[in-house]
Structure 1
């Protein structure tokens, strides 16, 4: 009398199995029963039991269970004792674990057996159910039978936890064929005939025909010359098949143990180009049609047979490498994916070329600063239909890895006794550094081009017929309410007005200079040339900007309090008088010869031009897009320039870079 906590055993079954697992296990048991009988005309029928409740939409009723019928040796006393023994060793040579029936109870409420077997010269019938508490066999009955041959019928009834995932008979047949395919393709082995049909025997489909005759076009093997591989002293082989009409399934790598599929992993995890279906051209008279298919690579090896898990839902070894096992699942699948890639040679090569062309197009059109990185870029891990974001991440990662590698090589080179002894290494590293720097320069120049396009649009009429506010164009040049402490030079566009302003030591943008109620020039820069960067020195120039909204000219009216020239003069006098301090609270050091530069940026309307000429005594620049004046008494040079001039000059200064770098 067996005593085992069956419920706990079922609850402890690991993940990796599916609802198809117990069905396949019962079919394999039926195959082994036929093999034990040495039955030449072995036959297995899988009957699909459906819900008696008709679907309101007329669709095929749900699957509720299965009956697996065979003409094998039956449940003899020996087989009965094996069923009643946990971890039975009776079928160990065939890969049996003595645990498969427990997996049945994970997915089905009930497992029952009805079997005819030969006992001496008489046939007997044995029926029983699998228990759910402590006894493996319950409700057993043995009686004489009028059967003429042995055989068994195993019923799996009432699905647990939801519905069976498939309804159509041919879909269920395809899933079973995938899991049992090794039985159909093993050399020098004749698999019993396996059929699947409705409960009344109608609509019968022979699974063997999927790979042999008749329906052989549904599965087709691709012969690969080098299909054997070796890992850490263990031998493996892989066979690659086409599966036509795959529905929404993906190409897979299936690891096999004792002729049964144990795991399946998408091949595109290793070779992204397998993400999509493949197509065969079918020529019919004058027409050509495409037939879609996926790939499945089945992997065989003694290592897999030995290490298959108890539930056959996985293996003892880990997916990633560890110290306990010599080989990981990833290693095996990676080697199998290489064979599958070889089998699909031209198709995969074409997809890889298409992917590379897609990345090249992205680099040329959107990210030319990555040209050098792209030349040596490995796209193996990039998804086949990668988004722009995924491409950019791949390029950025490659760039970062290249920079890390260069730094490592430079550090190693500098640690050597004499660089003179390693001139070849120095030259090579300098070339790589130059390439990386070129990428950064292209990126920077391309960014400038985008800024100029945005700046140009901000000066044009909006859809409602108005012009952008001065705040918008101000923000493009330098964000309002910010300073250089919060906005580094890489994030502002002062180069639009003057390239020298990229190297200022401090910039205040529309911020009070001495408390909340003090003056707020639009832009105040304490200019410190990069070659003479130092402390707050009297000789360093101070630059002040005032921006006016495009097409605005009311500031020239006599009643206006926003005269930008007078505002700049007033700021200069206040700075010279010591009214303002640096952000650190230090006095701004000003001497008699400290130069001041003032810029008013506005549109030079006719009204503004007359104002500058008649009231301000400004002189026109040669291009008449700007006016200037020198205030000798306070050492101030002022320019009033148009937005068009700012755009034109910025374009002119950068055009040669756009041209040379091809952006």
Structure 2
């Protein structure tokens, strides 16, 4: 007996049973009870299984706490009982007695993995005489009393009692007996659906008795249809059930030998599913998907907790195994047509919301093309918030862009393998998709411009109602971050187009940096222009065709909005910076000296045109045609200074971009 005890202990320790599988002993006890009834060969109609949940008897429960914390259970059946043949099987690890029923021979050892106390009382018939057998099953004492029997007038059947659950597994048990009942139905769903099980009743102190067969009839609607599919010549069956229990979610169950082995969220395979479907009577339901097949029967582990699939490691490749991904891909492909009617209204509502969302997010307009309809239906969850929808659409857009890039890389190979007409047709389609992506990327940038202009406009309005609002710095940061150079930030962080589109083509641009810290201007001054831009050699953007060839300098200064205390021309500081640069031994990007006489100087002063500012520029500056700015040509003819009001800045930028905004539906009256 000592040897047997050691074997049981080692076997139990080697069993793999996670906390999530804490109910496995109950499932095994129920399965054994059903098998015992089936062994009588007189059908299930006149037989039953009683499950009695036992709550923990700790101090919390005794004090009146209504929480029902399972500490054990009884499973009582009126099956064949522990006759001598069944006892021999029970004592033998990895017994083959139930192979034809899908048994692995180790299910009963999960009893000892989760519970400390296992007692079995059974009545069986031998030569028309009923005998009683009672024994304890434990790691310490093996099968204590299993060989002792005595005559009895009690009816045949078995009571399996498990007590003292290990603390580790208590969190794996629901506290609500009804949820436990639902989990039992899910585990044996195939049996309930095929009516191949007896009446199963669940009892729990302080709770109503639950007839699981009736609960199944109330909550589960017959499957839509059964669909057969293959993966690597392995045949599988897929069945779809509708569950009317409002608390459940869509689930998928991989089953072996009539029992669930692995379950998961169906939304992981079909993200397009809503939380709940509504039937014709507006009653909610969810989906239960059952997958069965010989492959699952034959490749379930001994604990019946997972199924063996092909390893991702190429060195562990086994030809007879299939990959989980291949199976799930085929399940998804098989299932979608079956759910077309269920998903019809959901998809219509979802696509309508996307079309409405795209009005405000035109960068996703490409996705509304009919060719992407199916992808949106399959990839986007219904009912998403605008923020989540934006993330989901961005993911789909990137997926499409990646697909097009891959096709582009292979376009040359098509010319080698297909006729010119076939190549031309595919190239045409690819070019169209590439063009759509380009439009989408342009739309993102245009929408960004619309947002920046709206922010500037809002900031101007806020400033005029709040004198403490620091618009000068806010606007400065919107146009170009402070304290950095154009080498430190991405292009999208620069909004120089607000002032002049041509400023985007600078060679180097700095913000609030000392002139002496700029490469090539080491011999100038310690002054810090708000924005300084240098165009080496080819002054694109601030030059005309007949420009001087040395390069271009742009300086931008911002003045506090509403300021009205000017006692001198505020543009003088820009002129001083020009003078310092012209006297500072300027070098080009290659370190060669630049003749300052060949530089072109452009200055922008951004300020409100208050009375004191108008007084300072009167008679020396020319007014702009719209009367919202001034300009002044430098005396030496090598540059100019422009004073731009904040309102003019926004209005001019809106005018320059209006055609783009109109095309994308972003123009606002």
Give me the TM-score of the superposition, normalised by structure 1: 0.86
Change over 3 Å in CA distance of 1:192–1:454 after alignment to 2? closer
CA distance in 1 between counterparts of 2:24 and 2:529 reads 77
1:90-129 pair list within 5 angstroms: 90-129=97-136
1:91-490 pair list within 5 angstroms: 91-133=98-140, 136-140=142-146, 142-161=148-167, 162=170, 165-186=173-194, 190-198=196-204, 203-211=208-216, 216-224=217-225, 227-247=227-247, 249-274=248-273, 276-280=275-279, 282=281, 290-318=282-310, 323-324=317-318, 325-337=320-332, 341-366=336-361, 368-375=362-369, 376-377=371-372, 378-379=375-376, 380-386=378-384, 387-405=388-406, 407-409=408-410, 412=413, 427-462=428-463, 463-466=465-468, 468-490=470-492
Contact 2:135-2:145 within 8 A present in 1 as well? yes
Tell me by how many angstroms 1:83 deviates: 0.8
Change over 3 Å in CA distance of 1:422–1:175 after alignment to 2? closer
Residue-by-residue CA offset, 1:622-650 (whole Å, 9 max, x unaligned): 22212222233363322222222222211
Change over 3 Å in CA distance of 1:279–1:165 after alignment to 2? farther
Change over 3 Å in CA distance of 1:321–1:191 after alignment to 2? farther
- Secondary structure of residue in 1 paired with 2:514: coil
Tell me by how many angstroms 1:439 deviates: 1.7
1:67 matched residue in structure 2? 74
2:500 matched residue in structure 1? 498
Tell me by how many angstroms 1:500 deviates: 1.3
- Secondary structure of residue in 1 paired with 2:551: coil
2:510 matched residue in structure 1? 508
Residue-by-residue CA offset, 1:331-367 (whole Å, 9 max, x unaligned): 444444555544543231222232333333332212x
The yes-or-no answer on 1:653 pairing with 2:648 is no
The yes-or-no answer on 1:557 pairing with 2:567 is yes
CA distance in 1 between counterparts of 2:435 and 2:461 reads 40
Change over 3 Å in CA distance of 1:398–1:316 after alignment to 2? closer
- Secondary structure of residue in 2 paired with 1:327: coil
1:286 matched residue in structure 2? none
Contact 1:113-1:154 within 8 A present in 2 as well? yes
Contact 1:374-1:395 within 8 A present in 2 as well? no
Number of positions where the alignment pairs a residue of Structure 1 with one of Structure 2:
635
1:34 matched residue in structure 2? 37
2:14 matched residue in structure 1? 12
- Secondary structure of residue in 1 paired with 2:648: helix
Tell me by how many angstroms 1:101 deviates: 0.8
CA distance in 2 between counterparts of 1:114 and 1:416 reads 75
CA distance in 1 between counterparts of 2:599 and 2:153 reads 117
CA distance in 2 between counterparts of 1:265 and 1:417 reads 44
- Secondary structure of residue in 1 paired with 2:108: helix
CA-atom RMSD, angstroms?
3.3
The yes-or-no answer on 1:600 pairing with 2:608 is no
CA distance in 1 between counterparts of 2:417 and 2:515 reads 53
CA distance in 1 between counterparts of 2:477 and 2:193 reads 71
Change over 3 Å in CA distance of 1:642–1:308 after alignment to 2? same
CA distance in 1 between counterparts of 2:560 and 2:420 reads 58
Change over 3 Å in CA distance of 1:198–1:424 after alignment to 2? closer
- Secondary structure of residue in 1 paired with 2:636: helix
Moved more, 170-179 or 160-169: 160-169
1:287 matched residue in structure 2? none
The yes-or-no answer on 1:87 pairing with 2:94 is yes
2:632 matched residue in structure 1? 629
CA distance in 2 between counterparts of 1:145 and 1:337 reads 57
Change over 3 Å in CA distance of 1:625–1:204 after alignment to 2? closer
- Secondary structure of residue in 1 paired with 2:285: strand
Contact 1:24-1:179 within 8 A present in 2 as well? yes
Contact 1:75-1:117 within 8 A present in 2 as well? yes
Give me the TM-score of the superposition, normalised by structure 2: 0.86
Residue-by-residue CA offset, 1:293-327 (whole Å, 9 max, x unaligned): 32212222222222221111122225879732442
CA distance in 2 between counterparts of 1:430 and 1:242 reads 45
Change over 3 Å in CA distance of 1:338–1:526 after alignment to 2? closer
Structure 1: runs of 5+ lacking an equivalent: 283-289
Contact 2:604-2:641 within 8 A present in 1 as well? yes
Tell me by how many angstroms 1:479 deviates: 2.2
Change over 3 Å in CA distance of 1:99–1:430 after alignment to 2? closer
CA distance in 2 between counterparts of 1:350 and 1:319 reads 39
CA distance in 1 between counterparts of 2:348 and 2:478 reads 40
Structure 2: runs of 5+ lacking an equivalent: none
Moved more, 446-455 or 486-495: 486-495
Tell me by how many angstroms 1:9 deviates: 2.0
Moved more, 641-650 or 344-353: 344-353
- Secondary structure of residue in 1 paired with 2:254: strand
Change over 3 Å in CA distance of 1:116–1:199 after alignment to 2? farther
Contact 1:359-1:391 within 8 A present in 2 as well? no
1:285 matched residue in structure 2? none
Change over 3 Å in CA distance of 1:660–1:199 after alignment to 2? closer
